Amino acid sequence: MSTKLELKVNDNVVTAERGELLLDVLRRAGVLVPTLCEHPGLEGVGSCRLCLVEVNTGRRSQLVASCLYPVEGELTVLTDSPRVNEARRFVLTLLLARYSDVQLIEELARRYGVKPVERLQAEPADCLLCLRCVRACAAQGNGAIATCLRGREKRVSPPFDEPPADCVGCGACAEVCPLGAIKVEEGEGKRRIWGREFTLVHCQSCGEPFATREQFDYLRKQPPDLLVEEELCPRCRKLDQALRISGSTT
């Protein structure tokens, strides 16, 4: 059975692999689809609902979260239909009510012609609950943070709101946060995050601080193929690998 499929996307024909996520197909085709919770390398959860598109399988038409929708057959896909835009404007209206001072939300609202609705204004929040941070921490193998409480009180937190023992200070959670809600402070050879302080490791080549001692201790406990012996920053590690390859071919 062929794994290649042809989709009709906004009157254009696009090729996809069977089982490929629709959002990946659309992006490869250069089709703009807004997202907040999606991030490359992280498993999708479809929580922000901004990536909704309209798909027609020949039997029915429906709105789906493109970041979670696997392509299993031929489809007609609309990414800018009245139905899609209405759904996105509804989501953005709610987001704008609580994140009115967040540049990313403001830009998306302007793009779709969404303005603040006074009766919907809520107490400002700095966390979107997109769970990028939780997924990034889990992907690193630590699971130091998670969601707690429910409903309007739901938030991301370390266990019992205490400095998390499993955190290695890698900062991946802050790196993937779309709103910059997770604060990381660095200075005097230290990194501070989630109420913990970590000692920074300096690159053995260029001398720049780039990771925490706890990160390296964690990596050295991993299987041999993941073992990190030299304490080099990503830039110097890449240069070192290039020099070794160059030296082995001369």
Q: Do residue 161 and residue 110 come from a single domain?
A: no
Question: Within a domain: residue 40?
Answer: yes
140 in a structural domain: yes
Question: How far apart, in whole angstroms, are the C-alpha atoms of residue 205 and residue 232?
Answer: 6
What's the number of domains the chain is made of?
Answer: 3
pLDDT at 232: 80
**Domain, as residue range, for 40:** 4-80
What would the pLDDT profile of 139-195 be if each residue is shown by its tens digit? 988 899 999 998 878 999 999 999 999 999 999 999 999 988 999 999 999 999 999
Instruction: Give Cα separations from 91 to 76, 98, 129, 156 (angstroms).
Output: 24, 11, 14, 21
User: For a pLDDT cut of 90, what percent of the chain falls above it?
Assistant: 64
Check whether residue 113 and residue 143 sit in a common domain: no
Which CATH number do you get for residue 55?
3.10.20.740
Q: Do 76 and 92 belong to one domain?
A: no
**pLDDT of res. 142:** 85
Note the pLDDT tens digit of each residue in 90-128: 999 999 998 888 888 999 999 999 998 988 877 778 899
Specify whether 13 is located in the same domain as 76.
yes
pLDDT of residue 41: 85
Task: Looking at the structure, tell me whether residues 31 and 93 fall in a common domain.
Answer: no
- Which phi and psi (to 5°) does residue 122 adopt? -125, 170
Please give the model's pTM, rounded to 2 decimal places: 0.83
Q: Are residues 25 and 38 in the same domain?
A: yes
Q: How far apart are CA 168 and CA 247, in angstroms?
A: 35
29 in a structural domain: yes
Residue 227 has pLDDT above 80, yes or no: no
Q: What is the dihedral of CA 215, 216, 217, 219, to 10 degrees?
A: 90
Asked, for residue 126, whether it belongs to a domain, the answer is: no
